[in-house]
Amino acid sequence: MKHVRVGIVGFGTVGRATADIIAKHASLIERRSGVKLVVTAVCRRKPIPEAEAPEGARITTGWRELLDAPDVDVIVETMGGVDHSLQLLRGALEHGKPVVTANKKLLAEHGDELFALAVAKNLPIGFEASVAGGIPILRVIHESTAGDRLIALHGILNGTSNYILTQMESRSIDFDQALREAQLAGYAEADPTFDIDGQDARDKLCILARMAFGGRLDVNRIPTHGIRHVRSVDIRSAARLDRTIRLVASAEHSAHGLDLSVRPWMVSRRSMLAKVEDVNNAVFLVGDRLGTQMFYGRGAGGDATGAAVVSDLVEIARDLAAGRLSAKNVVGFLESRELELAPEPKPAGWYLRLTVNDEPGIIARVAEVLARERMNIDSVQQEPHSPKERLSLFFTVEPVSEPTIRRAVETINDFPFMVEPVLLLRME
Amino acid sequence: MKHVRVGIVGFGTVGRATADIIAKHASLIERRSGVKLVVTAVCRRKPIPEAEAPEGARITTGWRELLDAPDVDVIVETMGGVDHSLQLLRGALEHGKPVVTANKKLLAEHGDELFALAVAKNLPIGFEASVAGGIPILRVIHESTAGDRLIALHGILNGTSNYILTQMESRSIDFDQALREAQLAGYAEADPTFDIDGQDARDKLCILARMAFGGRLDVNRIPTHGIRHVRSVDIRSAARLDRTIRLVASAEHSAHGLDLSVRPWMVSRRSMLAKVEDVNNAVFLVGDRLGTQMFYGRGAGGDATGAAVVSDLVEIARDLAAGRLSAKNVVGFLESRELELAPEPKPAGWYLRLTVNDEPGIIARVAEVLARERMNIDSVQQEPHSPKERLSLFFTVEPVSEPTIRRAVETINDFPFMVEPVLLLRME
């Protein structure tokens, strides 16, 4: 029986769950894979009480010493952040050690360098845990759709935003309260910007799109809108249209290139997107032959992320034992071509919420702006019982291009009766 | 560039789709995997017109000659049936050739022998296409949940049954009409027994359960009930309870062993099971750490099945090119222990439909039988406007064990007012 010795750097939720799963499922892992995983070292800046450390593991505070430690075969990075973790992955690969990480920010920003290094060293980087937690979406894209051409992918990739949106809907609470509760429940950081403004979903979309469509992609080129400005009036308005709101990361092929975005969508309540509730994630893949596939599960949390880390460790351990480590899973990242983005996303229906200081003629003036851009109005609503000085008006319009709707929104935003800018959501 | 030469045996829907995908996606496959797949031989009992054969492939009518053909590296079996395909797989492995098959019946019945042979020869058998068409569920179980202990799995695994049930619901048609239409659309065989009586789902469940829970399992031990007796009155009755009907294959761990069955369930319309419509399939996995995951997609059809076959071919071709073919994916099948089945499934709620020749006192007599077995009635309905000599009555009862409900059903079936036996469905 081959022992594969694991060093874990960072010992927060994910690090602990990883160590715990390795300990508790040791015999299951052995039986299935023929290798025994053992945590031999744990590294954390703040010292760890002896009692909390995995049995038999030594504890260190400096990650550098794991790089050439003879008792560590694989390094798991769970520190987060970009500076130290970049140095750690670089150092590990340079010292001939495979690595596993859940750090999507690191990979979205420095994937090119790290994957090139992995290939140069012929070593794997396991990063299944970096996107959609426990959902094995990267393996699915890499292996199972190997014989198919992907046309589109859509995902609910940020558990925090999804939790906030579903709580706002199911309990009729407003955004601020839902966010506070998410923070108390440990689903949102003290500074929630990264989750609620869409950057977390954007980083994950970057990784998914590169794997699915094969090419380089600057994460900053993905148009990103979060859910910060969604209010309970919008949830109620969606409900009246038999819809709900989801933060959707999407990538679609068109004749002109790839149409990428992260933004809130108003989706049918009967759609599968609407069924994804709380902190769950889902990814929809559309293949030329396979049609639409959906993969659903827990998107975050120590257990799901830890289980994904361990699935990578098992694969690496198997290959290590068989003497066949390789960088096989990073193909999509190594293509030198740049993914070509569509200059203009394809037309969509839109939802507009206006917050106005009521006066006669508002609907007429807004309708005139929309008419001037040749848009067809699909529905108009007014929030019942709202104060005259802060009245919510909702319009949905038939599919038009994004530049067209944005031009109209800019004109509307300039009207003196507008209390705050228009909220714009894409209709599914 | 390494060429991997493929021989396809059987040239119906799946065989053709496989050849077509290999031809159309050749450059994509090359780019992703570094190998070139080429179909060099096609074998079919009935001769194939030259024009329909893949370019450059020779055509034969006898599969035996592919076994030692020097121009065939991998054999794809798409004949179906058990006799010839068993001989083909045996012969191929004995001649040192890896194989890919979509034949669940073959694997459910002869998996033990074939996988033992594969291990003895250290050769892979690709069988992703045998369960849930294009959904890569076997890979997910094998690789991605490697670090987690599975507790339960549920699946909608038979596209034909699901098509019939969703057509009955959406278009208010009866079972016979829906079946006829499924046959015309090519979704059901001339003899539909295997699909509608649940054996197809049972064979797939057998493969899934063996992979997920690791052990041997005689497919005939799985209690199997199909949808043949479901009528439009049951669909309407379900709708009044805000439910619908799905044929569910399930495997659940309990303290007493594994609880396995294939049977129609009455599920909430808001559940994800209900969202699986037409010929689609879905598999739900419940893991100790990963929680509930769902995998959804096309369950059948040439394109989805062909794409799954090609995903296996790509993996085998990669390993062949790297000189590392192995039987790594059959671990779950090789455990010598028998999966322990629970002597009695765990209690569930039940739906009973009685078709009676109306007379006074029927509800009282049925209620008395249920009371004698200490069952609580949850709801009683009577189908409106039905003829007195063929009246439909529906009961739902709170959770009781299956032997208890079956005893009650036997007593009820003996009543003189019963026109036909009770239909029993499990409540989700």
Are A251 and A110 found together in one domain?
A: no
- Token output for B227: 């949808």
Query: Kind of pairing, strands A391-400 and B391-400?
Result: unpaired
Res. A1: pLDDT tops 70: no
Q: Within 10 Å of residue B41's Cβ, how many Cβ atoms?
A: 22
Domain contains B280: yes
Q: Identify the CA nearest to A147 among candidates B13, B141, B313, B140.
A: B313
Q: Which residues of B touch A297 (CB under 8 A)?
A: 290-294
Mean of the per-residue pLDDT values of chain B: 92
What contacts A393, CB < 8 A, 6 or more positions away?
A353, A354, A355, A356, A362, A363, A366, A380, A381, A382, A383
Q: State whether A147 and B31 contact (CB < 8 Å).
A: no
Are B308 and B293 found together in one domain?
A: no
Average pLDDT over residues A365-394: 93
Residue from the list B296, B307, B309 with its beta carbon closest to the beta carbon of A287: B307
Q: Within 10 Å of residue A75's Cβ, how many Cβ atoms?
A: 26
Q: State whether B143 and A293 contact (CB < 8 Å).
A: no
Q: Indicate the range of B20-34, B250-264, B349-363 predicted with least confidence.
A: B20-34
Q: Which residues of A touch B293 (CB under 8 A)?
A: 134-135, 295-298
Are A129 and A193 found together in one domain?
A: no
Q: Within 10 Å of residue B302's Cβ, how many Cβ atoms?
A: 21
Phi, psi of B103 (to 5 degrees): -95, 90
Chain B nearest-CA residue for A18: B147
* A354: containing domain: 348-427
How distant is the alpha carbon of residue A117 from its chain centre?
Answer: 25
- Token output for A217: 């992609």
- Token output for A414: 């300039």
Average pLDDT over residues B358-386: 92
Residue A375: give its domain's CATH number.
3.30.70.260
Torsion of CA B250, B301, A213, A309, to 10 degrees: 20
Residue from the list B272, B311, B313 with its beta carbon closest to the beta carbon of A144: B311
Per-residue pLDDT, A383: 85
Chain A nearest-CA residue for B318: A328
Distance CA B263, CA B226 (A): 6
Query: Kind of pairing, strands B243-254 and A257-268?
Result: unpaired
Q: State whether B292 and A297 contact (CB < 8 Å).
A: yes
Point out the domain boundary residue: B240, B274, B298. B298
- Token output for A365: 């003036």
Per-residue pLDDT, A144: 67
Q: State whether A147 and B25 contact (CB < 8 Å).
A: yes
Q: State whether B149 and A28 contact (CB < 8 Å).
A: yes
- Rounded to a whole number of angstroms, the distance from the CA of A27 to the nearest CA of chain B is 10
CB A413 within 8 A of CB A253: no
How distant is the alpha carbon of residue A412 from its chain centre?
Answer: 32
Q: Which of A104, A105, A204, A346 is catalytic?
A: A204
Distance CA A58, CA A42 (A): 6
Are A273 and A381 found together in one domain?
A: no
Res. A207: pLDDT tops 80: yes
Average pLDDT over residues A393-403: 95
Q: Which residues of A touch B22 (CB under 8 A)?
A: 147
Q: State whether A290 and B306 contact (CB < 8 Å).
A: no
Q: State whether B290 and A297 contact (CB < 8 Å).
A: yes
CB pairs under 8 A between A and B: 179
Q: Which residues of A touch B310 (CB under 8 A)?
A: 146-148
Average pLDDT over residues A111-119: 92
Residue B334 binned pLDDT confidence (cut-offs 50, 70, 90): confident
Q: State whether B148 and A294 contact (CB < 8 Å).
A: no
CB B37 within 8 A of CB B73: no
Domain contains A397: yes
Distance CA B115, CA B125 (A): 8
pLDDT tens digits, A303-332: 889 999 999 999 899 889 888 888 877 766
| β strands within A198-256, DSSP E | 243-254
Domain contains A124: yes
Q: Would you list the DSSP string of B28-90? A: HHHHHHSEEEEEEEEE-SSPPPGGGSPTT-EEES-THHHHT-TT-SEEEE---SSHHHHHHHH
- Rounded to a whole number of angstroms, the distance from the CA of B346 to the nearest CA of chain A is 25
Q: State whether B304 and A295 contact (CB < 8 Å).
A: no
Q: State whether B134 and A296 contact (CB < 8 Å).
A: no
Chain A nearest-CA residue for B144: A311
For A41, the 3-state DSSP assignment is strand
Residue from the list A134, A146, A287 with its beta carbon closest to the beta carbon of B290: A134
Distance CA A305, CA A134 (A): 6
Q: State whether B289 and A128 contact (CB < 8 Å).
A: no
How distant is the alpha carbon of residue B289 from its chain centre?
Answer: 26
How distant is the alpha carbon of residue A157 from its chain centre?
Answer: 3
Per-residue pLDDT, A346: 86
The full length of chain B comes to 428
Phi, psi of A172 (to 5 degrees): 50, 45
Are A294 and A238 found together in one domain?
A: yes
Q: Which residues of B touch A298 (CB under 8 A)?
A: 290-293
pLDDT tens digits, B265-295: 999 998 999 999 999 999 999 998 888 999 9
Residue A230: give its domain's CATH number.
3.30.360.10
Q: Which residues of B220-235 are buried (b: 16+ CB within 10 A; e: fewer)?
A: eebebbbbebbbbbbb
- Rounded to a whole number of angstroms, the distance from the CA of B221 to the nearest CA of chain A is 25
Per-residue pLDDT, A302: 86
- Rounded to a whole number of angstroms, the distance from the CA of A122 to the nearest CA of chain B is 13
Domain contains A343: no
Residue B116: give its domain's CATH number.
3.40.50.720
Are B27 and B113 found together in one domain?
A: yes
Q: Which residues of B71-86 are buried (b: 16+ CB within 10 A; e: fewer)?
A: ebbbbbbbbbeeebbb
Q: State whether B148 and A307 contact (CB < 8 Å).
A: yes
Among B30, B150, B294, B298, most A C-beta atoms within 10 A, so best to mutate, is B294
How distant is the alpha carbon of residue A216 from its chain centre?
Answer: 18
Most confident residue range from A170-179, B308-317, B319-328: A170-179
Distance CA B297, CA B279 (A): 9
Most confident residue range from A199-203, A269-273, B381-385: A199-203
Distance CA A238, CA B427 (A): 32
The full length of chain A comes to 428
Are A234 and A126 found together in one domain?
A: no
Res. B126: pLDDT tops 70: yes
Average pLDDT over residues A53-76: 93
pLDDT tens digits, B241-267: 999 999 999 999 988 899 999 999 999
Are A115 and A175 found together in one domain?
A: no
Residue from the list B31, B135, B307 with its beta carbon closest to the beta carbon of A289: B307
Residue B224 binned pLDDT confidence (cut-offs 50, 70, 90): very high
Among A278, A289, A314, most B C-beta atoms within 10 A, so best to mutate, is A289
Chain B nearest-CA residue for A290: B304
Q: Is A346 left (phi over 0), alpha (psi -120 to 50) or beta?
A: beta
Point out the domain boundary residue: A310, A334, A358. A334
Q: Identify the CA nearest to A351 among candidates A194, A179, A233.
A: A233
- Rounded to a whole number of angstroms, the distance from the CA of A113 to the nearest CA of chain B is 20
What single DSSP character describes residue A329?
G
Chain A nearest-CA residue for B302: A289
Chain B nearest-CA residue for A136: B144
pLDDT tens digits, B127-143: 999 999 889 999 888 87
Catalytic residue flag (residue B204): yes
CB B241 within 8 A of CB B271: no
Query: Kind of pairing, strands B35-43 and A391-400?
Result: unpaired
Are A102 and A70 found together in one domain?
A: yes
Per-residue pLDDT, B225: 96
Per-residue pLDDT, B301: 81
Q: How many distinct structural domains can be found in chain B?
A: 3
Q: Which residues of A touch B244 (CB under 8 A)?
A: none
What contacts B329, CB < 8 A, 6 or more positions away?
B124, B125, B126, B138, B139, B142
Q: Which of B97, B204, B328, B388 is catalytic?
A: B204
Complex ipTM value? 0.87
Are A175 and A42 found together in one domain?
A: no
Among A293, A316, A333, most B C-beta atoms within 10 A, so best to mutate, is A293
CB A107 within 8 A of CB A219: no
Q: State whether A294 and B298 contact (CB < 8 Å).
A: no
How distant is the alpha carbon of residue B293 from its chain centre?
Answer: 18
Are B362 and B320 found together in one domain?
A: no
- Rounded to a whole number of angstroms, the distance from the CA of A138 to the nearest CA of chain B is 10
Domain contains A59: yes
Per-residue pLDDT, B155: 96
Per-residue pLDDT, A309: 94
What contacts B171, CB < 8 A, 6 or more positions away?
none
The helix (run of H) or strand (run of E) holding residue B231 is none
pLDDT tens digits, B53-102: 888 899 998 999 999 999 999 999 999 999 999 999 999 999 999 999 99
pLDDT tens digits, B145-163: 777 889 999 999 999 999 9
Q: State whether B147 and A311 contact (CB < 8 Å).
A: yes
Domain contains B343: no
Are A368 and A383 found together in one domain?
A: yes
Residue from the list A144, A147, A306 with its beta carbon closest to the beta carbon of B139: A144
Query: Kind of pairing, strands B2-9 and B35-43?
Result: parallel
Domain contains B183: yes
Phi, psi of B391 (to 5 degrees): -90, 140
- Token output for B407: 């005893």
Res. A377: pLDDT tops 90: yes
- Rounded to a whole number of angstroms, the distance from the CA of A358 to the nearest CA of chain B is 39
Torsion of CA B76, B81, B85, B86, to 10 degrees: 140
- Rounded to a whole number of angstroms, the distance from the CA of B333 to the nearest CA of chain A is 11
Q: Indicate the range of A48-52, A85-89, B398-402 predicted with least confidence.
A: A48-52
Q: State whether B304 and A297 contact (CB < 8 Å).
A: no
CB A291 within 8 A of CB A82: no
Distance CA B417, CA A289 (A): 53
Domain contains A215: yes
Chain A nearest-CA residue for B140: A136
Chain A nearest-CA residue for B312: A144
Chain B nearest-CA residue for A269: B270
Q: State whether B328 and A318 contact (CB < 8 Å).
A: yes
Residue from the list A28, A146, A313 with its beta carbon closest to the beta carbon of B29: A146
